[in-house]
Structure 1
Amino acid sequence: MADELDRAISDTLTGIRTATSEHAVELGRRLVDLLDRRNALAATRTADIGALAKGIDHAVHSLDDSASSAELVRRACERVAELCSADQVVFSRLYGDRVIPVASFGADPHTTPALPAEFGLPAGSPEACALETNAVTAGAQVLAELRDALGANGFTVVPIVVDGTAAALVHVGTPLDGSRRHALGVFAEVLGGCFERVGLESRRDHQDALLRESAQRWGSDTEFDAVTARAFTELTPVDAEHDDAERRLLDPLTEREADVVRLILTGASNSTIAAELFITVDTVKSHVKRILRKLGATNRAELIAKYQSGTR
């Protein structure tokens, strides 16, 4: 619309230069009308941008106190629907080349769409394009697996990047214009950061529990009684990750590999680690292989044994 008005204004100005006096007056009136319409359109755009900015601010603040990934996903679906004025939203995790829907949202709580089945990404699809470009992408042809949840009138999809890797996709059941696409992209960036925060807090909780268990084992292996062991546990600070034994074990590892080790020490499976760190199971397996090689262990059991022997 703005481009059409700009072209019409340019053509009118060109016409005025060569028009007769009588025709120039008519073109002048037309020019005033076109300028008024362009100003009104600019004012509307400014108001829309202001409303979107407030919407983004509200959406971001609603994520602040999410205590778990599941709660974060639920709130994200609600806020995306609100921000994009959409009736349907589907949130999916990425596992390798598979897309696994984990949450859906409908504007009418009585008609929330059923969760679609997992599906692969067709080459050249808007979803594949969104992942390749790490950008909000619109499409006209909704994949068959998503049609019941999103309808068939077009959609928009945005990747959620967590710790530098695309970990999820959010589908919105409507094609978005430029300003709303931008708003969705900004929200997606913030959401990825929130998932990193929730994952970090979860890892710290696991680490704290592990350190407390280690302290209790230490107490039981000495002449100290249970009261002394409990006191030691209570006095151990949350940041006791710098304990000498653990530091020696984790020293050769990257920060992400250390996160994986801490979860392995709690007995977490590959799928649990993937969910906690918001990465794929294949990525977890790759981390585990490198960890075992760096620490000179042949399997998880030997890795855990090394840790336990080092903390005694």
Structure 2
Amino acid sequence: MDTCAEPGELIRRSRDTLREVAALTGGDFPQAAVRDLRSAEIFLRSGESGLLRELSGFDGQGPAGARIAAALARVSALRTAIRDSRLAAHTAAMSDLQRCLGRLRSASSLQDLAQRVPAEINRLGYRRALFSSLTGPNWSARSAYAYADPQLSADLVRVGTAIPGQLGRELPETEVVRNRTPVLVEDAQHNPHVHHRLINLARTKDYVVAPLVGRGQVIGLLHADQHVDHDHVDEFDQRLLGLFAEGLGCVFERVVFHEQLAAMRERLREQADAVDDVLDGLPEAAEPPRRADPLEQLEGPFAELTRRELDVLRHLVRGESNSQIAAELFVSPGTVKTHVKNVLRKLGVANRAEATARYHALVRRR
């Protein structure tokens, strides 16, 4: 048995095999009911049980027993091929999941993100998808996608907006929000606790719904139904949409952060422009004349003084005492006394009066 056969080929083989099983066992295995790999596996499993019951009545001898045994081997191999095919499809879906989320990361805004989500769910393998926002107890449709049916897409949003869902009224969505886990809803047409206007509009048989969680709370819902390979959804689709919703929550928070950052930058730019406008309207202030300090251009013995000794000299020529100089320079009087001695020595004078006279002589020359 070719385990790499296409789903269509496996479905055809399943119908042929079930026709043979029905002839050998007398059981009812309607080939028309085999519409996809899931239903094929269900009927093949039932056929396998029927063949085992028939085989138990033989001692292993004779052509009838041999035909049953051969059919049983074909059924077993076919079931293995179907499981391998479904596993390959699931593996591919997980790869598609990463690509879908990667494309959504480029969304420029929350509005852009909301509009793109249903189309990405379609790329995951679902014909129809709905994205709804949650406000208080109400969930309202924001965007939808229906393969090859843009009118249905628009109608789903229109109805889902005009008649929002309500937690407590639609139990599947209530369970999703309460437990923050995806839910599989089977036989939706006969479920009294679903959003019947949306269900009847889309003629939904079964669907999956998952929570969109952002900043620690459920902020939206994702719905999907009708897998492209068959008309139903199952437990794997429930898990897949749940994983997509988890990744979408991270994308949502990233887009929110970038929107907030962009808004902050815009506010700062506006504030900077406003400050520039105010400054442009003010007359230019003329700088006050600056009194020249003869010690800025040093010559002779003054050039030997350190920066701190120059500071002490400036205060000294004003007639300040050591204590006053210490208070101005935030040092101790003893430190000032040492600096004064060094100034007198370097200038070659005996006392403060002579140092002051040397300073004023320098001023007069300038």
TM-score range, shorter chain: 0.5 to 0.7
Deviating more after overlay: 42-51 vs 24-33: 24-33
In the TM superposition, what are the counterparts of 1:212-231 in structure 2 within 5 Å? 212-215=269-272, 225-226=279-280
Instruction: Answer 1 or 2: higher relative contact order, Cα 8 Å, separation at least 6.
Output: 1
Match of 1:151 in 2: 203
- Name 1:132's counterpart in structure 2: 178
Is the deviation greater in 23-32 or in 187-196?
Answer: 23-32
Q: Does the CA contact (< 8 Å) of 1:150 and 1:173 recur in 2?
A: no
Q: Deviations over 1:21-69 (max 9, x none)?
A: 3176455324312321122112211331233234323322221211011
Match of 2:217 among 156, 165, 169: 165
Does residue 73 (structure 1) correspond to residue 130 (structure 2)? The answer is: no
Amino acid at match of 1:199: V
Q: Give the 3 Å change call, closer, same or farther, for CA 147–32 of structure 1 in structure 2.
A: closer
CA contact (8 A) 1:13 1:31 kept: yes
Q: Which residue matches 2:309?
A: none
**Structure 1 residues 110 and 32, CA, compared in 2 at 3 Å: closer, same or farther?**
same
Q: Give the match for residue 106 of structure 1.
A: 146
Other-structure match for 2:239: 182
Contact 2:210-2:223 at 8 Å conserved across structures: yes
Offset of residue 97 of structure 1: 0.8
AA partner of residue 40 (structure 1): A
Alignment partner of 1:94 is 2:119: no
Q: Distance in 2 between matches of 1:47 and 1:127?
A: 31
Could you say what secondary structure the match of 1:159 adopts? strand
| Post-superposition CA distance 1:218-258 (Å, at most 9, x none) | 6788xxx449xxxxxxxxxxxxxxxxxxxxxxxxxxxxxxx
Structure 1: gaps of 5 or more residues: 228-312
Matches for 1:193-212 after TM superposition, within 5 Å: 193-212=250-269
2:83 alignment partner AA: A
Partner amino acid for 1:132?
R
Using the TM superposition, give the Cα deviation of residue 163 of structure 1 relative to its aligned residue in structure 2, in angstroms. Answer: 2.0
Check conservation: 2:165, 2:195, Cα contact below 8 A: no
CA contact (8 A) 1:119 1:145 kept: no
The one-letter code matched in structure 2 to 1:70 is: Q
> Is the alpha carbon distance of 1:93 and 1:110 closer, same or farther for their aligned partners in structure 2, counting shifts above 3 Å?
closer
Q: Hey, what's the Cα distance between the residues in 1 that align with 2:151 and 2:269?
A: 46
Q: Distance in 1 between matches of 2:225 and 2:75?
A: 35
CA contact (8 A) 1:90 1:149 kept: no
Instruction: Answer whether contact 2:131 2:144 (CA < 8 A) is retained.
Output: yes
What is the CA–CA distance in structure 1 between the aligned matches of 2:200 and 2:42, rounded to whole Å?
A: 36
Conserved? CA contact 1:136–1:159, under 8 Å: yes
> How far apart, CA to CA, are the structure 1 residues paired with 2:244 and 2:125?
11
2:208 maps to a residue whose letter is T
Alignment length (residue pairs): 224
User: In the aligned structure 1, how far is the partner of 2:43 from the partner of 2:180?
Assistant: 31
Partner SS, residue 176 of structure 1: coil
TM-score (norm 1): 0.60
Q: SS at the partner of 2:104?
A: coil
The gaps in structure 2 that reach 5 residues or longer are: 1-39, 227-231, 282-366
Partner of 2:90: 49
Counterpart CA distance in 2 for 1:101 and 1:38 is 41
The TM-score normalised by the length of structure 2 is 0.52
CA RMSD of aligned residues (A): 3.4
Note the C-alpha offset of 1:195: 0.8
Give the greater-gyration-radius structure (CA): 2
- The residue type paired with residue 208 of structure 1 is R
**Distance change in 2, residues 1:163/1:33 (3 Å):** same
Provide closer, same or farther for how the CA distance between residues 133 and 16 of structure 1 changes in structure 2, counting only shifts above 3 A.
same
* Preserved CA contact (<8 Å) 2:212 2:246: yes
* CA 1:147–1:26: 2 relative to 1, 3 Å: closer
Question: How far apart are the structure 2 equivalents of 1:7 and 1:151?
Answer: 29
- CA pair 204-82 structure 1, distance change in 2 beyond 3 A: same
Who is 2:331 aligned against?
A: none
